[in-house]
């Protein structure tokens, strides 16, 4: 057997390893393609599940709101007010009588005019009792401060106000810091 050069052996090994690597990559790309086909189905199911969850939350929220808000109070106009039944039925059947005066009045009044009802059928207005409110200590303090300010004390002059501010070292420090922050930039200051 003839001697084969070492470089040829390395070349053959390189080609074989490259072919094996190429086959492995080809198989992996087929698997990835198969996996990529599945996510659209998964995305659709995820979308459907998410949409169902949103619907459930909305219905729960609507139920909570319906349970928390009281129903509106119906407002009855005099024409819609239910007629009250008499306490006792009449002893004898009523005689045929001409049209009631309210009917004649309705014919003579224009449509936009309100229909007057007898006082016996009018419903009494609901009575409201005022609630006793409690005032907190903070509200009392604020009220007293407001009374002191509006009681006629004159405001101190600007000079006395500045003197009182500058007499305190803490407020002097704050004034210096504020002039540095709110004042002109260093580049625009003249010295």
Q: What is the mean pLDDT of residues 100-108?
A: 50
115 near 78, Cβ under 8 Å?
yes
* pLDDT band of 84, cuts 50, 70, 90: low
pLDDT at 177: 87
114 near 156, Cβ under 8 Å?
no
- pLDDT at residue 3 above 90? no
- pLDDT at residue 105 above 70? no
Residue 178 sits at φ, ψ, to 5 deg, of -65, -35
* pLDDT band of 104, cuts 50, 70, 90: very low
pLDDT in tens, 13-30: 999 999 999 999 999 998
Q: What is the mean pLDDT of residues 139-143?
A: 88
pLDDT in tens, 53-80: 999 999 998 888 888 876 677 776 655 5
Question: Which letter does DSSP use for residue 118 in this model?
Answer: -
pLDDT in tens, 27-45: 999 888 777 665 556 788 8
Number of other residues whose CB lies within 10 A of the CB of residue 78: 13
pLDDT in tens, 142-161: 888 888 877 765 666 777 77
Joined together, the tokens standing for residue 116 give: 């007057």
Of 23, 110, 122, 46, the C-alpha closest to 81 is: 122
pLDDT at 86: 52
172 near 166, Cβ under 8 Å?
yes
């Amino acid at each position: 057997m003839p001697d084969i050069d070492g470089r040829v052996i390395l070349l053959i090994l390189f080609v074989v390893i490259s072919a094996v690597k190429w086959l492995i990559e080809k198989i992996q790309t087929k698997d990835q393609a198969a996996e990529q086909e599945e996510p659209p189905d998964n995305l659709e199911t995820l979308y459907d599940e998410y949409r169902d969850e949103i619907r459930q939350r909305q219905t729960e929220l609507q139920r909570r709101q319906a349970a928390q808000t009281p129903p509106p109070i119906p407002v009855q106009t005099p024409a819609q007010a239910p007629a009250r039944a008499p306490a006792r039925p009449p002893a004898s059947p009523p005689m045929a009588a001409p049209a009631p005066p309210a009917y004649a009045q309705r014919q003579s009044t224009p449509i936009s005019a309100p229909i007057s009802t007898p006082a016996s059928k009018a419903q009494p207005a609901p009575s409201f009792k005022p609630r006793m409110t409690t005032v907190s200590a903070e509200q009392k303090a604020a009220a007293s401060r407001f009374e002191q300010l509006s009681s006629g004390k004159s405001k101190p002059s600007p000079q006395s106000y500045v003197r009182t501010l500058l007499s305190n070292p803490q407020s002097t420090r704050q004034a210096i810091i504020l002039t540095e922050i709110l004042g002109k930039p260093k580049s625009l200051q003249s010295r």
